A and B are shown apart, each in its own frame.
Chain A
């Protein structure tokens, strides 16, 4: 009987850890996709602008990475969840 509860607790703990890992994966994965979607539009506009005038390269490179904030928040959430 005691052994059974012990095993049950172990199983529950393992499943909890698994859920945590899954949640972290969803946090990073979904925000990554969101960042990707946001950056496609900016990126193509940025390449167009650079083709017109290559002086703006520095600026558009920056504009392109602005949505990276989203995935970084996802990463932060994931890290806090895991550790």
Chain B
């Protein structure tokens, strides 16, 4: 809790001929995070070289490329397949040898044939396109070209032109563009073209065809249909092959990918002529399992030892170690940065305060239940897929419960006051449409409430900062860093004491009545001032430049006002929707109900639904992003560095195949 999983460093040394066995065992365990060997980096590894891939790697790559080309012809995504049953690896390998070449040849032939047919369709379409302007022309197209003394001009014009030369012309007006065909003796060609310019003449080339355009178009269309039908047949054939082989192909893909991953593992090991060394990380409590497994697999010929971890020098991979309630929040952590191995892992804290912020902003029983239903539905849907999407839904689930709880505390459901429940938190019921539900809004109280939230969050952040520095810094720097963090807390609270001594605020201690001691200042005011000065001194001792950051004490606390701002705007939209739908549309109709009135009432109900749907979406986006931002910017900047390396053990989760 609050710490990443403890890691142990393992070194494996074995003769080179056992490399395959060891790699297979490591792959099966899925626990060993390989520390890549870099030549000429460490002195103790002088003379070692990067290993060569295991035997058969190039053949496997070739097979995999062929397999993937078949899969892409089927447009088959391995992730989309639902695994039916695990296939035995040995059986699969046999099948790859036997069936894959035939399948590949068949698919390739089909795809090539389809490609050729598609080209034919394109060709026919181009011809139809070229013929279409002449569709209404009653002449044989062969009559329009091939003269020695006469030029045939064809094109679109804006209006019927006067060519002013002796010619024979055909003009057809239409909406798509007026077509003009003119046969002009060569001698007058230049003049005719000049005159045509005035009527925006756009030349069209005359297709080299015989027969009227209409006939030709009909002919090409028929041809195209025929070819399309054939393409359809090929696609159906491919689809049926896809149906037959999808599972097999997905399993083969997985098997070959795993084989390649295994075969290329030696590229990350240090080798000599006869032996190899692999360094890596495993979770502390699995060290025994891993070393026992390797020794057993190698028949006692491999040497496995645990190395001491030097936290200063080693980049230890980080794996979260959280209670299941906090697991979805790991996504929020990874979006920012994974914690370093040596610092506190604040996932649990985030898992608690993120939903609180979310609930404080959205706080509405109605919206809460919508989100709850949505997240449960999505959870069911995503159960098989897993991964980040599911984590996101997990975050939404917890946030929606928090929204319901805060909805009760605010006494809000779809913007209405919940009858019979007095708001425990300051009321957010605005006065919209002339009837404020219950209390009016208590804006100053809300503001002070979120300022308390801000003060609490920032103080917690600084305390975590103190813990971080106290645990992992050394010498004088440690003292300075701890004191500086304490200094920030003192400045913040000193300022609060000063404010309390001079201004009476709701929901805050009122110290204005205390008798003045010195310079018109009471005891608490003096204490506050001293705290601030000492705090600033502590901050300067660590780094004088930090002084320019002092205003962030104010701005970061005030930034929490967004909780009220966004929350109120969400309430306001909800109330406006209610007022428009019910107050303006439905209620007036209900007074004198008529048939027409029923229609209006239905329209009112639709407005109500769409309005609240929109507000739910806006609310989730606003509350989700702003809560995250408060976490990242106002909270994390106080103590969190991040930038740890992800623990990524060697191996693959098998879904389709087994050894």
Contact = CB atoms under 8 A, between A and B. Distances in A.
Contact of A80 (B444, B625, B629, B633): B444
Contact of B564 (A59, A66, A79): A79
Contacts of B443: 79-80, 82-83
A73 B447 CA distance: 12
Contacts of B583: none
Contacts, number: 49
B629 A76 contact: no
Interface in A25-83: 58-59, 61-62, 65-66, 68-69, 72-73, 75-76, 79-80, 82-83
B49 to A, nearest CB: 33
B263 to A, nearest CB: 28
Nearest to B562: A72
B650 to A, nearest CB: 22
Nearest to B624: A61
Contact of A75 (B444, B569, B628): B569
Given A73-B561, A75-B565, A79-B568, A59 B626 contact: no
B551 to A, nearest CB: 13
B335 interface: yes
B534 interface: no
Nearest to B628: A62
Contacts of A62: 335, 625, 628-629, 632-633
B20 interface: no
Contacts of A69: 559, 562
Q: Which of B558, B564, B629 has the most C-beta atoms of chain A within 10 angstroms of its own C-beta?
A: B629
A76 B561 CA distance: 7
A73 B558 contact: yes
B444 A68 contact: no
Interface string B426-457: 00000000000000110110010000000000
A66 B637 CA distance: 14
Nearest to A69: B559
B45 interface: no
- The DSSP consensus for interface residues of chain B is helix
A55 to B, nearest CB: 9
B566 interface: yes
Contact of A65 (B336, B564, B565, B625): B625
Interface string B185-223: 000000000000000000000000000000000000000
Nearest to B566: A72
Contacts of A61: 625
A73 B565 CA distance: 8
A69 B561 CA distance: 9
Given A58-B335, A59-B336, A62-B632, A79 B625 contact: no
Nearest to B332: A58
Range of interface residues on chain B?
Answer: 20 to 34
A83 B561 contact: no
Contacts of A66: 629, 633
Contacts of B633: 62, 66
Contacts of B569: 75
A17 to B, nearest CB: 14
Given A59-B336, A61-B625, A62-B629, A76 B565 contact: yes
Contacts of A79: 443, 447, 564-565, 568
Interface in B98-139: none
Interface string B335-346: 110000000000
A47 to B, nearest CB: 16
A53 B280 CA distance: 29
A77 B336 CA distance: 31
A62 B566 CA distance: 16
Nearest to B559: A69
Interface in B328-387: 335-336
B561 A72 contact: yes
Nearest to A71: B565
A10 to B, nearest CB: 20
A82 B568 CA distance: 13
B1 to A, nearest CB: 25
A66 B633 CA distance: 9
A83 B444 contact: yes
B493 to A, nearest CB: 22
Contact of A72 (B336, B444, B565, B625): B565
Contact of B562 (A58, A59, A68, A83): A68
A65 B625 CA distance: 8
Contacts of A82: 443
Interface in B603-655: 625-626, 628-629, 632-633
Given A58-B335, A76-B561, A65 B626 contact: yes
A61 to B, nearest CB: 7
A72 B569 CA distance: 11
Interface in B375-417: none
A3 to B, nearest CB: 28
A25 B447 CA distance: 19
A76 B444 contact: no
A82 B566 CA distance: 16
A69 to B, nearest CB: 6
Nearest to A79: B443
Interface of B: 335-336, 440-441, 443-444, 447, 558-559, 561-562, 564-566, 568-569, 625-626, 628-629, 632-633
9 contacts: A61-B625, A66-B629, A66-B633, A69-B562, A76-B447, A79-B447, A79-B564, A79-B565, A83-B444
Q: A-B pairs with the 8 shortest C-beta distances?
A: A58-B335, A83-B443, A75-B565, A72-B562, A76-B561, A72-B565, A79-B443, A65-B625
Given A68-B626, A76-B565, 12 more contacts: A59-B336, A62-B335, A62-B625, A62-B628, A65-B625, A65-B629, A72-B562, A72-B565, A75-B569, A76-B558, A80-B443, A80-B447
